Chains A and B, each alone.
Chain A
Amino acid sequence: MTNGVAELEHSDVIFIIGSNTATSHPLVATRIFRAIENGAKVIVADPRKNQIADFADQYIRHKPGTDVALLNGMMKVILDNGLHDQAFIDANTESFEGVKAVLEHLDLDASAATCGVPVEQIEQIAKDFGSADKASIVYCMGITQHTNGVNNVKSLANLAMLTGNIGRASTGVNPLRGQNNVQGACDMGGLPNVYTGYQPVTLGAANKKFAQAWDVDELPSGIGLTIPEMFSKIESDDLHALWIMGENPVVSDPDANHVEKALEKVDLLIVQDIFLTPTAKLADVVLPGASFAEKDGTFVNTERRVTRVRKAIEPVGDSKPDWEIIQEVSTRFGYAMAYESPGEIFEEIARLTPSYTGISYERLEGEGIQWPCPSEDHPGTPFLHRDGKFTRGKGLFHAIEYQPPAEVVDEEYPFWLTTGRVYAHYHTGTMTRNSESLDFEVSQGFLEIHPDDAKALLVNDGEPIQIASRRGEITTRIMVTERVEPGVVFMPFHFEESNINKLTNPAYDPIAKIPELKVCAVKLFKAAS
């Protein structure tokens, strides 16, 4: 997030797109509810009318995968009505001309038809957003998990810069990070192109700095493989060993059958986890890690706040904290590591990472610190790009045109499928489904379907249905609801026994390599009871 969670309370307009906030980020939703009490207007755009949409001033039901059409339509209205912030654009950004040209040539009626939203509704939300003093954009995987995910995000950045809603409190472009420490994993260089703090592996200076700190002659300077690329390289016999720590790709990744085949094929599969997940069951070696309650360390939340994780109990059974496991393997591999504690590792991170330089375990005793925190007396940074000063200098506009999803509905596969989470469960359910109280709340998967579609298929609420895409099929029961519109179905992905990711599309964004989990085409049949 460019801005902090608490700042949302003081926004005038909050535009939520592709985020099931009340379910997936309940304590962010709390701030949005408070903003509503403070008089903020809330606009929710989502193909599925999720819980937070029930509290919105305006709910926009656009078709799956048409975010760019909706956002360009909004920006055209803002520009045509002079609601853009020309002073901000002139002072702090570049390449606006390209976006302006796209918007000037945009046919608003055609955009409205593409996203299935009436022109009047687009005009209304554009005017609400464009005339707000402080407008915040909140988004989640509904924006990013598309073959044009990067363009979706850039469109939101365009919208924020167009209206000068960045670099001030209670504004900004605010992705809600789905996992407790996904921000931290990115910050720590758990990515194929960067070391800690996003220092590029390709950059001579960073490469040299890390080689020296890690006491090796040289470090690889070519960009490594992303997860989908690793699966492809297993198939083409170029990748022979895979070490998976705390992830469950057999359930979480698109086209699960294909993932399973790759994991069965790889010569050496090492899985480090706290449960015997469907992924761990395929492993050659299973290394039992310790859970968050059994070790010390840090997590980084969605607003870049680094906070402490503290050991409450001894590791269960003979399990070990993951840092100890990696250290032991590394030493036996021939690269000695001898850290006494996570605190010692954190000191090394702070030394090598400019945005973490001022952070230490001592300073994290209080409320945590939001990075960047470049020195020991720096208080941390609640919001980024203050006064329109962007990391790269000027904020860069990107001219973006709508492109359809990789797979669209047709006669054979006539329904749009989208996926997400439910309130009681978390991701692949490894933890929540082993929690008695939570599994009791929602104990099996289901497919949300509109009453008209259920009627046409002759299936009643709670009855089984077969659902198939070009990649796989599963059986589940249906939940009849108007949260989805006719022709669109939704299913949560927490349930390994009815794993919807056997059906989802692995086609990915060319830049971010993020798969199109949020849209694919499926067909439905009444299943035998």
Chain B
Amino acid sequence: MDYQNILTTCTYCGCGCNFFLEVLDGELTGTIPCKTSPVNEGKLCIKGWNVHEFVQSDKRLKRPMIRKNGNLEEVSWDEALDYTAARLKTVKAEKGSDAVGFFASAKVTCEENYLMQKFARAAVGTNSVDHCARL
């Protein structure tokens, strides 16, 4: 039996509460608020207390998909990544850099947002990157 507590930051609102995720043999089993966090000082809201529940939901997307004959079908990562890159290249070549737009995300990490805007600006050549800050 392998039990661990991992200190991390909540994925819901902008408060940024810190807690430990309880992991038992690779499964998330609970959330323990962090008492030394300057933000939440050992407290959590109802969403925070239950944040571990959605992560391993059966409904999580588990494999990449491509639309074929009108339906989304599971494919390998190689096929999905090659297809994505090739189609983006075609749009850029045929319609120009500004024919491509990007939604970065308030839900993913800083590092991931950084990479998305870097890809948009340096690789595709467009500044059309935005996210839901307005929504």
State the A residues within 8 Å of B (CB).
5-6, 24-28, 30, 144-145, 176-193, 195-196, 201, 210-211, 214-216, 219-220, 222-227, 230, 233, 238-247, 249, 252-253, 267-268, 270, 273-276, 280-281, 283-289, 291-303, 305-314, 316-323, 325-330, 332-335, 337, 339, 342, 345-346, 348-349, 367-368, 423-426, 431-432, 434-438, 441, 508, 512-515, 517
Q: Do the beta carbons of B8 and A292 come within 8 Å of each other?
A: yes
Residue among A190, A230, A320, A432 making CB contact with B101, cutoff 8 Å: A230
Nearest CB in chain A: distance from B113 CB, A: 4
Residues of the A chain whose Cβ atoms lie less than 8 Å from the Cβ of B84: 270, 285, 287, 329, 332
Q: A201's closest neighbor in chain B, by CB?
A: B127
Q: Do the beta carbons of A220 and B14 come within 8 Å of each other?
A: no
Nearest CB in chain B: distance from A18 CB, A: 15
Residues of the B chain whose Cβ atoms lie less than 8 Å from the Cβ of A349: 110-111, 114
Nearest CB in chain A: distance from B21 CB, A: 4
Residue among A24, A244, A291 making CB contact with B11, cutoff 8 Å: A291
Nearest CB in chain A: distance from B75 CB, A: 9
Known: A180-B11, A245-B103, A252-B135. A224 touches B126 (CB 8 A): yes
Contact residues of B between 19 and 60, Cβ < 8 Å to A: 21, 23, 26-28, 36-40, 43-47, 50-57, 59-60
Residues of the B chain whose Cβ atoms lie less than 8 Å from the Cβ of A201: 121, 127
Nearest CB in chain A: distance from B4 CB, A: 7
Kindly name the residue among A28, A182, A318, A335 whose own CB sees the greatest number of chain B CB atoms within 10 A: A182
Residues of the A chain whose Cβ atoms lie less than 8 Å from the Cβ of B118: 214, 337
Nearest CB in chain B: distance from A499 CB, A: 13
How many angstroms between the C-alpha atoms of A67 and B127 in the bound complex? 33
For residue B1, CB closer than 8 A to chain A, the reply is no
Q: Do the beta carbons of B110 and A182 come within 8 Å of each other?
A: no
Q: Do the beta carbons of A329 and B13 come within 8 Å of each other?
A: no
Q: Do the beta carbons of A180 and B16 come within 8 Å of each other?
A: yes
How many angstroms between the C-alpha atoms of A320 and B81 in the bound complex? 12
Q: Do the beta carbons of B28 and A327 come within 8 Å of each other?
A: no
Q: Mark B71-107, 1 if CB is under 8 A from A, else 0.
A: 0100001001111111111010001011111111111
Q: Do the beta carbons of A182 and B131 come within 8 Å of each other?
A: yes
Known: A195-B117, A335-B122. A241 touches B45 (CB 8 A): no
Known: A268-B87, A332-B85. A27 touches B111 (CB 8 A): no
Q: Do the beta carbons of A225 and B101 come within 8 Å of each other?
A: yes
Q: Do the beta carbons of B131 and A247 come within 8 Å of each other?
A: yes
Known: A179-B107, A300-B110, A302-B16. A191 touches B129 (CB 8 A): yes
Q: Do the beta carbons of B14 and A293 come within 8 Å of each other?
A: no
Q: Do the beta carbons of B128 and A224 come within 8 Å of each other?
A: yes
Nearest CB in chain B: distance from A320 CB, A: 7
Q: Do the beta carbons of A301 and B101 come within 8 Å of each other?
A: no
Known: A191-B129, A312-B28, A320-B77. A426 touches B12 (CB 8 A): yes
A–B pairs, 6, beta carbons within 8 Å: A181-B108, A247-B131, A270-B84, A300-B110, A307-B18, A349-B111
Residues of the B chain whose Cβ atoms lie less than 8 Å from the Cβ of A339: 115
Q: Do the beta carbons of A326 and B119 come within 8 Å of each other?
A: yes
Q: Do the beta carbons of B23 and A318 come within 8 Å of each other?
A: no
Q: A431's closest neighbor in chain B, by CB?
A: B54
Q: Do the beta carbons of A190 and B60 come within 8 Å of each other?
A: no
Residues of the B chain whose Cβ atoms lie less than 8 Å from the Cβ of A268: 87-88, 91
How many angstroms between the C-alpha atoms of A245 and B15 in the bound complex? 22
Residues of the B chain whose Cβ atoms lie less than 8 Å from the Cβ of A191: 129-131, 133
How many angstroms between the C-alpha atoms of A443 and B15 in the bound complex? 24
Q: Do the beta carbons of B62 and A330 come within 8 Å of each other?
A: no
Q: Do the beta carbons of A302 and B61 come within 8 Å of each other?
A: no
Nearest CB in chain B: distance from A25 CB, A: 5
Known: A291-B11, A515-B135. A180 touches B85 (CB 8 A): no
How many angstroms between the C-alpha atoms of A310 and B18 in the bound complex? 11
Q: Do the beta carbons of B53 and A438 come within 8 Å of each other?
A: yes
Residue among B101, B104, B122 making CB contact with A241, cutoff 8 Å: B101
Residues of the B chain whose Cβ atoms lie less than 8 Å from the Cβ of A176: 14
Q: Do the beta carbons of B6 and A252 come within 8 Å of each other?
A: no
Residues of the B chain whose Cβ atoms lie less than 8 Å from the Cβ of A273: 61
Residues of the B chain whose Cβ atoms lie less than 8 Å from the Cβ of A434: 53-54, 57, 59
Q: Do the beta carbons of A242 and B103 come within 8 Å of each other?
A: yes
Known: A192-B128, A329-B85, A512-B134. A312 touches B6 (CB 8 A): yes
